[in-house]
Structure 1
């Protein structure tokens, strides 16, 4: 589907994001830093404020603000269930994806023994690598790596049957690279994991704003994402299959619930933040049609993805035409999120970002974005990492042209 600003309701979309009214040095701010955290939709901001203004309350109380808090959490989990294709009793909230993954890894490690193996990848954000490496170290597990093909910027699956074998207990995989945008070919990895009885733990933090996710259909057992990447608050989300969740033994206080999903939600949760999750998910559904929220999310994401990809295609083409710009991306046959990583010859990535902000009011970021193994394999850490431009449904073609022009003017 090809879509443009004439067929996408960009004016209405932008009106829903108060941050877009910001100016910097007298120019409208253009946000290209979505992969690091999106701007927040107005309905989510309003829900957060309303919760706090009406008087929040902790759980299990005999008063209205406590009951209302419990209802808000329940409604948020229903929305997440529709967003990820999971049951509401499989959803847990936490501070962020990293914290949740560490807790889950610690708990799962109790079920493994020395000699068992886990698999991680060279493409992933370290939040879906290091918690598993630490767990493996604690329990004497062997770690195997799915390597990245540095020429194609995809995972090398040529020896998949050896990497994932009868000793494998868990495979940790990202659905999309937060650095270079490659959408991972998950199907053969999940299929091989199931053949040997291994669990699949998937990092959907970068993918969730840009593609429809159906945990069970995709062969995932443990799925994690973060609402602040899809127009909501800073809340981590875990969706763990019920048969795994019921046996999970996370660290917790003695009086805390021992039933799932509550047993993973240690301490008092960020209730006001949780109040902002459902409106963020409803933003996706607002673009779609159908009798159920899941159907509206699905059809809505098709439109969002098409629009974002149109923007990304123009940005990639524009940057590729500039002398001295090197793009780090898979070829056109590989599906990608609207995330573009590049370098400019002779100008350090951080300096590029400063010039973009100070001279053009364009906000974009540099570094390795915790995809440090990929950065090492591509040998870009010594040159300051990548410049990363990420697109969201509130970006415009005019902003893309501003971005291209700004890069072309770099000296």
Structure 2
């Protein structure tokens, strides 16, 4: 499925997502809730069903269904390897990104001493904040915050040299805001962290469906994302640099493997979910060109990104033209994911979402989306935080125009 900057095979794309056939109160459902979890591609659904129909099994058995399960996991890790540009033995799966981050934080905490420091940001989803704070409290560490600039809706980096210092052991930062869409300029943060010998833990959950990621090129030591944000099942993905992974000592059962990456994968994994990861990544690849899967994934993501940004531009312009709509977004010079946060004067965000669904068949979410510190800094929590509209490659221009008309009617 090849495409160009001007031609996007939207009908072919939509045919691959069964959920798009849904209607609600006589209208075709329009899904604008992708940042909270995308719809699942048919090939991933088929892979999940096929695994369960053929007979699942646990690992290390002497029979076919066990061998097949091990091969499915290996294939999924190979696909993730090309998706994020990491080694296959650096990939671990878990229940979700939050659970994996808590486990990693507790394991890393064993290497830190009272007085050491951890740096988090005011823009991040709490899943890349609270695991580190809880570990720091248990270990007697100090937490420092990179603040958000409430005018520019970007991170304020002017005091970076003081925030990240010789006592800093780890810096946790998100690649993109799941609430307002700001793509974070992590280069100066990573540069400063490396100057003082600190690890960098990056949350790519929101970024992974929208922008190309290269963990090692970006200088990241620990990178996490979730397949259910990029058209797959609910499976968390952690990729940890080998030199960090080999020294990690996570909490686990005595009889569980002590080698990586298995030592982080506690208990029986979600094998049927893991079966859906490779097809989800192959969706990106299907748009791309190149001699390797990595090249095809990268060029595929670029094509999808161009299409999504085209839709997002129209939606932002349409909403900005409505007097009672207030957008929360960084300036035009700041790159953003196709995620748009706003409020409508005279309505709570929940009321907006209910009207959108009941009268227009538009599914859109409200709340702080676990970016609660950012919501507090922007003083929106008292009003129910935001309405958040997120675009995916299965959305259409017609749906965007429908969304704008619905907002105008409010």
1:369 aligned counterpart, secondary structure:
coil
User: 2:37 matched to which residue of 1?
Assistant: 37
User: 1:220 matched to which residue of 2?
Assistant: 220
Judging changes above 3 Å, is the alpha-carbon distance between structure 1 residues 399 and 122 closer, same or farther for their aligned structure 2 residues?
Answer: same
Alignment of 1:190-339 (within 5 A): 190-339=190-339
TM-align CA RMSD: 0.9
2:88 matched to 1:88?
yes
User: 2:176 matched to which residue of 1?
Assistant: 176
User: 2:59 matched to which residue of 1?
Assistant: 59
1:209 to partner: Cα distance: 0.1
- Alignment partners' CA distance in 2, 1:405 and 1:242: 51
Instruction: Tell me if the contact between 2:44 and 2:277 (Cα under 8 Å) persists in the aligned partners.
Output: yes
Describe the superposition over 1:244-296 as per-residue Cα deviations: whole angstroms up to 9, x where unpaired.
00010000000000000000000000000000000000000000001110000
2:395 matched to 1:402?
no
- Alignment partners' CA distance in 2, 1:342 and 1:239: 33
1:118 aligned counterpart, secondary structure:
strand
User: 1:144 matched to which residue of 2?
Assistant: 144
- Alignment partners' CA distance in 2, 1:29 and 1:252: 44
- Segments of 5+ residues of structure 1 without an aligned counterpart are none
Aligned residues: 408
1:294 aligned counterpart, secondary structure:
helix
User: 1:370 matched to which residue of 2?
Assistant: 370
Normalised by the length of structure 2, the TM-score is 0.99
1:392 aligned counterpart, secondary structure:
coil
Instruction: Tell me if the contact between 2:360 and 2:406 (Cα under 8 Å) persists in the aligned partners.
Output: yes
Describe the superposition over 1:3-30 as per-residue Cα deviations: whole angstroms up to 9, x where unpaired.
9996000010000000000000011000
Judging changes above 3 Å, is the alpha-carbon distance between structure 1 residues 5 and 170 closer, same or farther for their aligned structure 2 residues?
Answer: closer
1:323 to partner: Cα distance: 1.2
- Alignment partners' CA distance in 1, 2:28 and 2:98: 33
User: 1:388 matched to which residue of 2?
Assistant: 388
Describe the superposition over 1:119-171 as per-residue Cα deviations: whole angstroms up to 9, x where unpaired.
00000000000000000000000110000000000000000000000100000
Describe the superposition over 1:309-367 as per-residue Cα deviations: whole angstroms up to 9, x where unpaired.
00000000000001110000000000000000000001000000000000000000000
- Alignment partners' CA distance in 2, 1:244 and 1:23: 48
2:136 aligned counterpart, secondary structure:
helix
- Alignment partners' CA distance in 1, 2:219 and 2:253: 32
Normalised by the length of structure 1, the TM-score is 0.99
User: 1:48 matched to which residue of 2?
Assistant: 48
- Segments of 5+ residues of structure 2 without an aligned counterpart are none
2:82 aligned counterpart, secondary structure:
helix
- Alignment partners' CA distance in 1, 2:129 and 2:298: 29
